Structure 1
Amino acid sequence: MTSTLVSAFLTYTLITAMTPGPNNILALSAANQHGLRRSSRVLAGMSAGFLLIMLLCALFTFTLISLSPALVGWLSWAGAAYVLWLAWRIATSGSNLSSTDGALPGFWTSFWLQFVNVKIILYGITALSTFVLPHTTELVWVLGVSLLLALIGTLGNLCWALAGHLLQPLFQRHGRILNLTLAALLVYCAVRMLI
């Protein structure tokens, strides 16, 4: 792997993990409303579900590529298109992060929510099909990167939970600038994915 590929991979994964999504908003809301200690079951359920989804994405992507290696190019283009769509959504989104009031979900609720979280499913498939499988099909690497993806996603959720009180005012004041910066970085990722 070249340093350019590694930097594009890290840029993509860190931005995707840190931008608002269902998990991040749930972590922010749970920690703000119920405190970090009471939210630990929610965070643990999200992390366990995230790990399982990343392993399933690895199995799916690895199997698909094994059956038809020509799909790597198509998946790279699809991944780049998804990243550009994500950049567009971030650039045109509002800067307001509203949290919803309600009861604190438990471990299993937040675990099962991962199976309908399209953002993390596409995150896993895109990262694996674009940054890993074109360069190696060794199962050890595919599984290792899947674990790394789950770790990065979990760290993103934890950051949102820990910094929830700080991020809301920041996004309200400078949300537009932050969104445009993140969108520009994702466009860079999409271009690097195809080169």
Structure 2
Amino acid sequence: MNITSFLLYCIIITITPGPTNIVILSTVHNFGTKKAMEYTYGATIAFGLLLVISAMLNTMLITAMPKILIVMQIIGSFYMCYLAYQIYKMDTSKPTVNQTGTFVSGFLMQFLNPKVLLFTMTVIPSFILPYYTAMPAVTISVITITLIGFLAFITWVLFGTIFKAFLQKHTRAVNVMMALFLAYAAVMIWV
């Protein structure tokens, strides 16, 4: 397994602006750090749960149909390229949606967030299952990915104001860099 590509993919997907991160940022600005942390805990637990569900489903699919792994890798690579393009053309000048920062809203947001759903369904078959199918290895991978997601959410909470100002000031450069890293991760699945 290419650890660099795996970590780049996980970090880029979890730290780049998406519905959950934008709501966290908005919650920090509108309701404070405590409410944003409550939201973050709910989002993290749901993120981990989605990863567990993905690992179980993908492991069953690979056991039942071993060739499905190749299909999932292709889907994962195309999805990463699509995300790279979306990050490249991202417009952060649009206003964010204000939501209350509750544990339940953070939890439920993950099940409605297409970025998270597609990520959790592609990361396991693209990076983990081609190399590790034993339960302990898959479990450690799920925990690692969940921790990366939690740290990304915390980054948005702790540095919300600074991060938002930086993104607005250097939007184009940040988006191009993140898009290139994501495209690299997509290509490295096949190398």
TM-score range, shorter chain: over 0.9
Of 67-76 and 79-88, deviating more is 67-76
Query: Which AA in structure 2 matches 1:59?
Result: M
1:127 maps to a residue whose letter is: V
Which segments of structure 1 move beyond 6 Å, counting only runs of 4 or more?
none
Correspondence for 1:65: 62
Q: 2:156 aligns with which of 155, 160, 176?
A: 160
Could you tell me how far apart the structure 2 residues matched to 1:65 and 1:13 are? Answer: 22
- Is the 1:29–1:99 contact (alpha carbons within 8 Å) kept by the matching residues of 2? yes
Taking structure 1 as the reference length, the TM-score comes to: 0.92
- Which deviates more from structure 2 when the two are superposed, residues 108-117 or residues 77-86? 108-117
Question: For 1:37 and 1:50, how far apart are their aligned partners in 2?
Answer: 20
Aligned residues: 191
Give aligned-pair identity as a percent.
29
Give matches, 1:118-137, under 5 Å.
Answer: 118-137=114-133
CA shift, 1:105, in A, is: 3.6
Shift of residue 53, structure 1, vs aligned partner:
1.0
Structure-2 residue corresponding to 1:139: 135
Matched with 1:116 is: 112
| Aligned counterpart in structure 2 of residue 150 of structure 1, from 114, 125, 146 | 146
* C-alpha RMSD of the superposition: 1.4
Of residues 93-102 and 178-187 in structure 1, the stretch that sits farther from structure 2 once superposed is: 93-102
**2:39 aligned partner:** 42
Aligned-pair CA distance for 1:41? 1.6
Partner of 2:176: 180
Give the conservation status (yes or no) of the 8 Å contact 2:35–2:102: no
Q: What displacement does 1:39 show?
A: 2.4
Q: Distance in 2 between matches of 1:20 and 1:166?
A: 14
TM-superposition CA deviations, 1:61-93 (whole Å, max 9, x none): 111111111111111111000000000001111
Q: Which residue of 2 aligns with 1:11?
A: 8
Alignment TM-score, normalising by the size of structure 2: 0.94
What SS does the aligned partner of 2:97 have? Answer: coil
Partner-residue secondary structure (3-state), 1:136: coil
**Per-residue deviation, residues 22-63 of structure 1 (Å, max 9, x unmatched):** 111111111111111232221111111111111111111111
Deviates most, 76-85 or 147-156: 147-156
Structure 2: runs of 5 or more not aligned = none
Identify unmatched segments of 5+ residues in structure 1: none
Could you tell me how far 1:6 is from its partner in structure 2?
Answer: 0.3
Amino acid in the other structure paired with 1:60? L
Counterpart AA for 1:108: V
Does structure 1 conserve the Cα–Cα contact (< 8 Å) formed by 2:35 and 2:101?
A: no
Check whether the contact 1:61–1:128 (CA below 8 A) recurs between aligned residues: yes
